[in-house]
Amino acid sequence: MNKPVLGILGGVGPLATALLIRMVVEKTPARVDQEHIPMIVFNDPQIPDRTAHILDRSQPDPLPEMAKVARWLQDAGADYIAIACNTAHFYYDGITAAASIPVLNIMHETVRAVCDAAPDVSLVGLMATRGTVASGVFETCFKERGVRLAVPDEADQQLLDALIYEQVKANKPYDAQAFLAVARHLHERGCDAVVVGCTELSVVYEELGEKPDYLYDSLDVLAERCVGWYCAYREIVSQPAAI
């Protein structure tokens, strides 16, 4: 088997996991099957809901199950891990402590991608779960780059909640116009960029026809990083040994 092997901690949610796999395949500069990235995917939809626990600590804690999946991926032969969920990164330190292989961080990668693409950005909008918003992780990451974060008002957050939980996660048709309306409202409030910061919302974003140029999709960024990590590793190991 080619190295390195990508491990995907999935099922959070299942459709977003499938989209991440497809994105990685489509972004890989492969000419034949044998040049694609080997992956081990643990699609575990039984992991407790991340937002429910962040907002109410009496709810089941998802970390033990996610840590178990990370260890399983490592033991199964993965060389690095990607997590197909933004909200899960509230538990990032606990997940990384469970495995000794690198775990990519979707939030860090997204913040870097936005700031690299738009170096003059000063205010970024966030479309995400209530759990991600409440966790403050994106806000902290952007603040470290001198960038302020704006979140939707309550009415728009309710639209996002419905898109995430009642439509994408429930395998129901989703309202792309509601998605675009929330993004537009954030942009009209002065956001130079708007982050699609929930992988369920990435499913909606992917199906859009013409995409606003101020939108940055976190799952797309993660897929790019998965491929970049693989290619960099392959380039290093292909270097001739020093004499």
Residues noted as catalytic: 85, 198
Dihedral angle at the C-alpha atoms of 166, 167, 168, 174, nearest 10 degrees? -160
Q: Please, which residues have CB within 8 angstroms of residue 94's CB and are 6 or more apart in sequence?
A: 63, 66, 67
Length of the chain counted residue by residue: 243
DSSP letters, 124-140, are EEEE--HHHHHHTHHHH
Provide the residue type at 36 as one letter: H
| Tokens at 41, concatenated | 């995917």
Q: Is-contact 238 35, C-beta < 8 A?
A: no
Measured at the CA of 29, the angle between CA 23 and CA 33, to 5 degrees, comes to: 85
